[in-house]
């Protein structure tokens, strides 16, 4: 470098602790002197080479940025600054960099399956001699969930990072198809103020993914990433880019076109043909509802990435390897109210007359109300907590009815004796206390004493926050609250 400012020196000092500073000689050796045969990516930013370091022991991806770009220099140091501080399963790891001889070179872990974009609409290309093929629906859902976890981490880390360029070409896939977010050159630290949720900045990003409010006001928020993620979800569903100038004008912008198709009830017309027969009506309804919510015109109307993660994880669980009984529970009720409240009316698979779930007030008066649903949902909460069915006729008489047994143990102060043994020591004490309070209120005998479902959902979100905070404090290997109760 010809000149090094104080900001750059600060980044170099910070990076020194967590990533390696390569000499240009080492980089040339790793790439066989920037051999074109080793190029695995090419764009306006420069070229990406497949390289080998550590005496052939480690395969890496080496990005060589165009040296003449002044903007590139700023993005180069921003990338190093961000990734030297951030570590997460779903973020690409920065191994090191080189700034020798005014070069701008970044060395990353190798992501052998390319980008999500490669597998959605770049089918003419080949990587490493292998054809790029269509992803299955389950693969796409896992990739979306992983990317959402990565964004949620960014938004909630101490640095409060806004990525600002969320798109399929920046979602990379490793050898096990694990998705990781890359390219932090445009990222910004978000506001950490309790009163101000945005940072004012020049508009940067990629057309088709830009938050309209950010574009109009220059106010960048975490919800700008959420908007871009909503576009990405539709790309995953439709296998076409966010902006396609080759099609008719009304179809050019994917986000606008997809929402128009939803209004017309013609969503089936835009789904990737290779996915037909793979997506259930339930999955399609919920997935598109999540995507549409992310694209809300006003940032306040969009979900947080934590909420997106929760929704996608539940959706993934409803098709995953979970016991049949719990899969049925998730399908009938958790999917109905916790995935997306807007689309709850689409799921009417629960039978209000099922023994064990039946509202006692309905049984006595034959009057079915929304509070009857609340009672049944309370029974579901108890099933997940206790790991048993609502009615068991083979045990002791006082344990036949789950709700009655639960209430008895509440009165006796022995609630710990009825919890599923698999959950012991995995539930935060404060979370358990809140969870039991929610369930107890839901299964009250009189409907007027039960909460509304909106209140139940709010309380469950608070319980999840308690669990997550406990896990961060004591152990990150404990399954999350939502995984523990809903994904088993």
Distance (Å, rounded) from C-alpha 32 to C-alpha 153?
36
Tokens of 11: 């980044």
Q: Which residues are catalytic?
A: 165
**Could you list the pLDDT tens digit for every one of the 488 residues in the chain?**
445 565 555 556 565 667 899 999 999 999 999 999 999 988 667 899 999 999 888 999 999 988 766 557 888 888 898 888 888 999 999 999 999 988 999 999 999 999 999 999 865 445 445 555 689 999 999 999 999 999 999 999 887 899 999 999 999 999 999 999 998 888 888 765 554 555 667 778 798 999 999 988 888 999 999 999 999 999 999 999 999 988 888 899 999 999 999 998 888 888 998 898 888 888 898 999 999 999 999 999 999 999 999 889 888 877 533 344 443 433 333 333 333 333 323 323 344 456 677 888 877 776 778 888 889 889 988 988 888 888 876 666 677 789 999 999 999 999 888 888 877 777 888 888 999 999 999 999 899 999 998 888 888 888 888 877 776 665 444 444 344 433 33
Domain with CATH 3.30.200.20 in the chain: 6-109
Where b means 16+ CB within 10 Å and e means fewer, 303-337 reads bbbbbbbbbbbbbbbbbeebeeebeebbbbbbbbb
CA 479/CA 115 separation, integer angstroms:
28
CATH number belonging to the domain at 116-317, selected among 2.30.30.90, 3.50.50.60, 1.10.510.10, 3.40.50.2020: 1.10.510.10
Tokens of 26: 């080492």
**Cβ density class 186-202: b for 16+ within 10 Å, e for less:** bbbebbeeeeebbbeee
Known binding residue 293? Answer is no
* CATH of range 6-109; options 3.30.930.10, 3.40.50.300, 1.10.3720.10, 3.30.200.20: 3.30.200.20
Listed in order, the ranges of the chain carrying CATH 1.10.510.10 are 116-317, 324-486
Determine contact, residues 115/43, Cβ cutoff 8 Å: no
Residue 160, exposed/middle/buried by CB under 10 A (0-12, 13-18, 19+)? middle
The yes/no answer on whether domain 324-486 falls in CATH 3.40.50.300 is: no
Cα dist. 402→162, 263, 380, 384 in Å?
Answer: 46, 43, 10, 11
Phi, psi (rounded to 5 degrees) for 161? -90, 135
């Amino acid at each position: 470098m010809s000149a090094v400012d104080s900001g750059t020196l600060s980044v170099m000092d910070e990076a020194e602790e967590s990533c390696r500073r390569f000499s240009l000689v080492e980089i040339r050796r790793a790439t066989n002197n920037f051999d074109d045969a080793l190029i695995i990516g090419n764009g306006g930013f420069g070229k990406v080479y497949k390289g080998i370091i550590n005496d052939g022991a480690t395969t890496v991806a080496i990005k060589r940025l165009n040296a003449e770009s002044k903007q590139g220099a700023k993005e180069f140091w921003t990338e190093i600054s961000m990734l030297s501080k951030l570590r997460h399963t779903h973020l690409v790891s920065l191994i090191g960099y080189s700034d020798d001889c005014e070069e701008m070179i970044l060395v990353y872990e190798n992501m052998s399956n390319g980008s999500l974009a490669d597998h959605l609409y770049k089918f003419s290309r080949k990587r490493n001699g292998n054809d790029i093929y269509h992803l299955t629906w389950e693969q796409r859902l896992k990739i979306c969930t992983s990317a959402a976890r990565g964004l949620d981490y960014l938004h909630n880390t101490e640095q409060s990072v806004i990525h600002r360029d969320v798109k399929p070409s920046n979602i990379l896939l490793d050898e096990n198809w694990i998705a990781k977010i890359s390219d932090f050159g445009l990222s910004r630290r978000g506001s950490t103020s309790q009163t101000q949720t945005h940072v004012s900045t020049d508009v940067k990003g990629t057309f088709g993914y830009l938050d309209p409010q950010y574009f109009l006001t220059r106010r960048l928020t975490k919800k700008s990433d959420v908007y871009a993620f909503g576009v990405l979800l539709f790309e995953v569903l439709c296998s076409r880019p966010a902006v396609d100038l080759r099609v008719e004008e009304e179809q050019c912008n994917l986000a606008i076109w997809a929402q128009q198709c939803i209004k017309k009830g013609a969503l089936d017309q835009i789904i990737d043909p290779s996915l037909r027969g793979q997506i259930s009506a339930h999955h399609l309804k919920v997935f598109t509802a999540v995507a549409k919510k992310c694209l809300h015109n006003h940032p306040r109307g969009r979900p947080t990435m934590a909420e997106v993660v929760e929704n996608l994880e539940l959706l993934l669980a409803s098709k995953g390897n979970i016991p049949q009984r719990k899969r049925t529970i998730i399908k009938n009720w958790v999917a109905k109210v916790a995935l997306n409240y807007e689309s709850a009316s689409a799921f009417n698979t629960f039978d209000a007359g099922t023994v064990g779930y039946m509202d006692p007030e309905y049984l006595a008066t034959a009057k079915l109300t929304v509070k009857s649903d609340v009672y049944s949902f309370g029974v579901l909460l108890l099933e997940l907590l206790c790991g048993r069915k609502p009615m068991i006729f083979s045990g002791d008489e006082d344990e036949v009815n789950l709700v009655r047994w639960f209430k008895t143990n509440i009165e006796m102060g022995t609630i710990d004796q009825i919890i599923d043994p698999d959950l012991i020591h995995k539930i935060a004490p404060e979370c358990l206390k809140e969870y039991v309070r929610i369930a107890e209120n839901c299964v009250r005998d009189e409907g007027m004493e039960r909460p509304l479902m909106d209140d139940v959902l709010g309380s469950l979100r608070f319980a999840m926050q308690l669990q997550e905070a406990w896990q961060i404090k004591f152990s990150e290997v404990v399954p999350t609250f939502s995984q523990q109760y809903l994904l088993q």
